[in-house]
Amino acid sequence: MLKTTPSLRVLIPALVLAMAACGDVPAAPKAASAAKSAPAAAGEGVAAATAQTIVRTLEKNYAEQGLKIKSVHATPMKDVYEVVTDSRQVVYTDAAGEYMIVGDLIRTKDGTSLTEERRAELSAIDFSKLPLNKAVKEVRGNGKDKVVVFSDPDCPFCKRLEGEFAKMTDVTIYSFLMPIPTLHPRAYQKSVQIWCQPDRTQAWTDWMRKGKNPPKVADCKNPIEDVMNLGLEYGFNGTPTMVFPNGKVQSGYAPMPQLAQLIQANQK
């Protein structure tokens, strides 16, 4: 829930989900500390002094919220600068960082959102580097098409997405269990229990698609904390979030046949 007082979430809102999803993801200490240690980079066409001024002003004004700036770049508009935060949000400021614009920068001759293009660039993921051994794997049909999903076992939109997956063939689904404790207090332990089942794929699909609880088992070594940190590192702020082999990311639930078309269109 948003605070009524001015805050970073109000002035720099989380990336708007294109489809319905559960959020926000809580900050995890490891990834957060790594993000804070990275210095902001001045892009081409931006004087180092200007970048430093913008970073210094914004980080000072939002110090209580721990804002960190990753980069400052020039834009096609004179004296307007693109600022990327440590959560991969894109905003615009003047050269002093005293005024901020939140929204899309549109090229009027063709209606292209330069902001959306930049967001896609920032959110692109090297699919080959994903630790798929830390995901629940389901192969449907010949498994030709592939998709990765960061999912919370108690997220209603994740369950709806799983219902759509059940209608598909010839797809391999890698589900990373990323509980959001602030929204679903029991999701973390449920994720551990699903992972520790003898057949975790069956346990996952039975719960998500049929509402069937897995039998109680002893907790085991599991990747849930690692996955939560990975989601934060990638800037994911809600579930479900899909990652495709071409590196594109899509947050939220999609129904069939849109889902099948989305997956097929974003293979390599």
- When the pLDDT of each residue in the chain is averaged and rounded to a whole number, the result is 87
Tell me, yes or no, whether 131 lies in a domain.
Answer: yes
**Is residue 76 a part of any domain in this protein?**
yes
Considering only CA atoms, which of 150, 147, 151, 191 is closest in space to residue 168? 147
Q: What is the pLDDT of residue 24?
A: 56
Mean pLDDT of 241-267: 94
161 and 235 housed in the same domain: yes
- Examine the pLDDT at 30 and tell me if it is beyond 50: no
**39 — pLDDT class (breaks 50, 70, 90):** low
| Residue 29 predicted with pLDDT over 50 | no
Pair 248, 142 in one domain:
yes
Q: What confidence category does residue 7 fall into, taking pLDDT thresholds of 50, 70 and 90?
A: very low
Q: Under a CB-based contact definition with an 8 Å cutoff, are residues 82 and 90 in contact?
A: yes
Q: Are residues 163 and 218 both part of a single domain?
A: yes
Q: Which of 42-46, 53-57, 69-73, 242-246 has the lowest mean pLDDT?
A: 42-46
Contacts 24+ apart (CB under 8 A), 103-110: 105/75, 105/76, 105/77, 107/76
DSSP class of 15: P
Q: Is the pLDDT of residue 187 over 70?
A: yes
User: How far apart (Å, rounded) are the C-alpha atoms in residues 262 and 30?
Assistant: 33
In the predicted model, is pLDDT for residue 174 greater than 70?
yes
∠ Cα 145 180 39 (to 5°): 85
What CATH number has the domain bearing residue 233? 3.40.30.10
Residue 45 binned pLDDT confidence (cut-offs 50, 70, 90): confident
Q: For residues 9 and 1, what is the distance between their CA atoms, to the nearest angstrom?
A: 10
CA atoms of 261 and 164, how far apart (whole Å): 12
C-alpha–C-alpha distance, residues 242 and 100, integer Å: 30
What domain count does the chain have? 2
Write the CB contacts of 186 (distance below 8 Å, at least 6 apart in sequence): 154
User: Nearest-CA neighbor of 254 among 238, 242, 237?
Assistant: 242
CATH of the domain at 81: 3.10.450.70
Q: Given phi > 0 = left and psi -120 to 50 = alpha, else beta, which region is 141?
A: left
Contact (CB, 8 A) for 41 and 70: yes
Q: What average pLDDT does the segment 40-58 reach?
A: 89
Looking up tokens 């990747």, which residue turns up? 223
Q: Are 228 and 28 in contact (CB under 8 A)?
A: yes
Range of the domain at 55: 38-123
pLDDT value at 25 more than 60: no
Q: Is 237 found in the same domain as 141? A: yes
Contacts of 90 (CB under 8 A, 6+ apart): 82, 83, 84, 115, 118, 119, 122
Does one domain contain both 116 and 42? yes
What is the reported pLDDT for 5? 29
Give the pLDDT band (50/70/90) at residue 2: very low
User: Within this chain, do residues 114 and 138 fall inside the same structural domain, yes or no?
Assistant: no
| Predicted confidence (pLDDT) per residue in 211-223, tens digit | 999 999 999 999 9
Q: Which residue has the tokens 């003898």?
A: 198
Q: What is the pLDDT of residue 121?
A: 86
| 109: CB partners within 8 A, 6+ apart | none
Look at 122 and 208; give whichever has higher pLDDT. Answer: 208
Q: Does 107 score more than 80 pLDDT? A: yes
Q: Which residue has the higher pLDDT, 78 or 28?
A: 78
Query: What residues contact residue 199 under an 8 Å CB cut-off, 6+ apart?
Result: none
